Chain A
Amino acid sequence: MSNTAKYRNDFLKEVEANVEEGEWVKMCMQCGVCAGSCPLGNAWEHTPQKIFMMIRAGKRDEVLSSDAMWMCTSCYNCIVRCPREVPITHIMHGLAHYAKRLGLVPANQPTAKFAQLFWNNLSKRGRINELTLGLGLYFMNGFVEGIKTSIKMQSLGLNMIKTGRMNVMEIFGGHSVKDTSGFHAMLQKAEEIEATRIK
């Protein structure tokens, strides 16, 4: 980055335009309460506080290709504690989504994969099929890994089945909304509108 491009707000403006609640990034006052409140704070490559500063410092690639925001557990601690009432959780989700849209997510980021599986699963039939979601998760890193994970998770699955909280029959379809065509039309429209907004 050249000396003139730094801290010049180009990336901040991009975030404001394209990221959910991005217009709040400039309102951070760098107190660090979010970083101290995050249950997975230590696992973050950059805490939300740092991410906001990096956005202001114009570090576009470092932010968007970071796996930091994929560490968000959606616990909302940061939101309720932020003295500036910055919707930090939403911004983290928004940055994650934007990074995914641009194809900048680090390879094999497990939460990114799971979150995408989840979305695919629900958008297919309107409701989550926990069995196929779970199996999809186990096999997301390939067949061999999937078998290993399945074995590891075997007793858990058996427990769930025994207590009636997992149904192997869901592999053949399972729950669904009835008006699937209306549901899909709606989602398609929403995605269309959203796409026109991204600059």
Chain B
Amino acid sequence: MADKKIAAYICQGCGLGERLDTAQLAKIAKSEGKAAIAKQHEFLCNANGVQMIQNDIDNEGVTHVVLGACSRRAKTDAFNFQNIALMRANLREGVIWVRPDDEDNRETTQEMADDYIRMACAEAKFVDIPESSNEQGLNRTVMVVGGGVTGMTAALETAKAGYNAILVEKTGALGGMAAKLYKSIPQSAPYSTPADSGVADLIAQVNSNDRITVHLNATLNKTSGAPGRFAADIRIESGATFTEQFGAIIQASGFKPYDARKLPEFSFGKTPDVVDQLGLEALAQAANGAPIKRPSDGKEVKSVVFIQCAGQRSEKQGHLSYCSGHCCSTSIKQAMYFKQANPDTDAMVVYTDLRTPGAGGEDFYRNGQQQGITFTKGEARTVTINDGNLTVKFKDLILNEDVDMDTDLVVLATGMMPNSGVDIEATPAKLDENCKDCSNDEKSGAVAPVIQESVLNLDYRQGLDLPQLVTGFTDSHFICFPYETRRTGIYTAGPVRRPMDMLQAQDDACGAAMKAIQVIENSSKGLAAHPRVGDLSFPRFRKEGCTQCKRCTVECPFGAINEDEQGYPQFNESRCRRCGTCMGACPVRVISFANYSIDSVGQQIKAVDMPDEYSEKPRILVLACENDAYPALDMAGMNREQYSAFVRIIPVRCLGSVNTIWITDALNSGYDGIILMGCKKGDDYQCHFVKGSELAHIRMSKIDDTLTTLNLEPARVATYEVAITDMHRVPQLINDMAATVLRCGMSPFKF
């Protein structure tokens, strides 16, 4: 690579020229920032400005460009220069838009801008242009695990996009749960009557598609590799094993129904006339359009009661806490089976909250009402058997009274439980707790405790399967990256990811297929797939400094790091999301990226001009997550919210990448306050790297010792969870810290 040559360009547009002394900024870039070139331009993002920069890159050998203009999130199309490193000093959203335009504030506003130029130049000195590691492979085949509606749809979508799919199904036939349904919830207007599930057609399409290879009675014995170069040993019924190579995985392993025997109050298992929804489907398939017969005596069912939320949406031990999403619509569909065979059949749905998600859900509900299905808001208490008949006891929640009602058949709307494999994060303590949750039936041995079998059998240091949410569904960023699991290149779709109906599962399958294709293409070029799409950088470590402490391998939320025989980390670049959590974790600071390192941030912290203790100009450092906190700060600027001029903000890839050395260094160099802003952590996290924010909070909880050692007040360092919508809150957090600093006084560590 050619020698590093830094050029700084200061924009005068958008009011920057009027509000700031841009000549002084250019001077700082040259004298302090060691920029070889420093230019001012009246309108940097116009064609002329962009051309000026491009000329310098082409003709003057500029390798590092410092832009003193708007936020790094603005004008990215204009400032899209290839093969150089780009720094953005945020003078617009981060300075002039958050400060009042008056004479009194002119000096402190200029000081903010001066520092941001110093910081950007300091960063430039410590970043390199990332290059691919050449670790990559390219294999345009997607492995789909599970041959139900989700898996078949995923395979077909993959094939339609011109990629190959291998479909592995553990049973002897395609179709999954959908094949067990008599009819399905209608997926198109007028949403008035149960529809054909379309499974037979899907199976035919899969079987006749040249790009899809189907393995029935097959399981994954061992899966290894990384995006673009996965391999799996597939075991078939005969016990024989063979290996397939592929570039990405879609896990569509579906769900199993909640075991209704855990609900003795509803007499499930004591009489065949109490069934779960799958049981009713079997009865409907047997009747095939004729009136449904009661299993106990073959009599035509004249009255049926559906009990919604049986064992779900409940905090009771052994129940499911969540809503399975499809069951209300499924009960409406099943009640229609009865109404269509004989309109005089009484069909009643007992519900507490009727939920029919999806575009047609409400119409379907209305159509159910039109067809004479009775909907009763009530809580079912018990189902008892009297002389071969059933009595449902429920509380009518509208009339506030207890009701006994006789009926021929009861259908329990039990929930979905994901086939997500082994819970790799289950600790022995957690297992004990689970055992306390076991129902009496389980304890007495009436119900065998569920033994989880691995689905993927991953040959990863971090465990056999994908990390799970507390509910057992596979973990993914619910809002931004629903299909992306915590193993790069492996996507989940359908009810293994969250409870859903068939239509949603098919949408899911399309999404996951597109993601699988994206990761194959990106990883073949060494590019990150998400959320840092296109990032070429990857973690590397200085082996001589490494103490083999394994914190990086343990804390990586994505299982990207293995260990070699000696215990040194082995980075799997293609599995890496480039969050830098390993860098934040490393106690000896040997991990870095070409363009993001302990120094690239640390030197920015040190580059800030530190006024002396008696200047009444404190300095507050903000390390803000680039995903949500930094956009929130930008939006505060766009809304012209004001915050303290004493703050200096540095975006970080994730709060997980924050190494405590930055905090210690900042305190030692005289900062008066420090704020960390990351995403929401915990079970319902919004952290784009899942664990980063949580880890940062844990690390920062230990920073008090450092402060005490330095004889500084703990209030000087604060860590917050910030959402992207918090544009009105972030200025307040900054101003609060400014007030705290005022209260505590200036730091004595200024030099």
Contact = CB atoms under 8 A, between A and B. Distances in A.
B406 A3 contact: yes
Given A27-B366, A53-B398, A4 B406 contact: yes
A81 interface: no
Interface stretch (B270-278, B374-382, B613-621, B681-689): B374-382
Most chain B Cβ neighbours within 10 Å, of A12, A30, A84:
A30
B241 interface: no
Contact of A30 (B346, B348, B375, B403): B375
Contacts of B346: 7-9
B391 A3 contact: yes
A18 to B, nearest CB: 17
A6 B366 contact: no
Contacts of A57: 376, 396, 399, 403
User: Helix, strand, loop or mixed for chain A's interface?
Assistant: loop
A29 to B, nearest CB: 7
Interface string B593-632: 0000000000000000000000000000000000000000
A78 to B, nearest CB: 16
Contact of B405 (A7, A30, A84): A7
Nearest to B344: A9
Interface in B393-421: 396, 398-399, 403-406
Interface in B511-547: none
Contact of B376 (A3, A49, A56): A56
Contacts of A9: 346, 372, 374
A113 interface: no
B399 A26 contact: no
A128 interface: no
A124 interface: no
Interface residues of B, number: 21
Contacts of A56: 374, 376
Contacts of A30: 375, 377, 398
A26 B398 contact: no
Interface string A53-72: 11011000000000000000
B374 A49 contact: no
A152 to B, nearest CB: 39
A84 to B, nearest CB: 8
Contact of B399 (A8, A27, A50, A84): A50
A42 B365 CA distance: 30
Contacts of A26: 369-370, 372, 374
Interface of A: 3-4, 6-9, 12, 26-27, 29-30, 49-50, 53-54, 56-57, 84
10 residue pairs, one from A and one from B, having the closest CB atoms: A53-B398, A3-B406, A4-B406, A30-B377, A26-B369, A3-B404, A6-B405, A27-B369, A8-B346, A56-B374
Interface of B: 303, 346, 348, 354, 365-366, 369-370, 372, 374-377, 391, 396, 398-399, 403-406
20 contacts: A4-B303, A6-B404, A7-B346, A7-B348, A7-B374, A7-B376, A8-B303, A8-B346, A9-B372, A9-B374, A27-B366, A27-B369, A27-B370, A29-B375, A30-B377, A30-B398, A53-B376, A53-B377, A53-B398, A57-B396
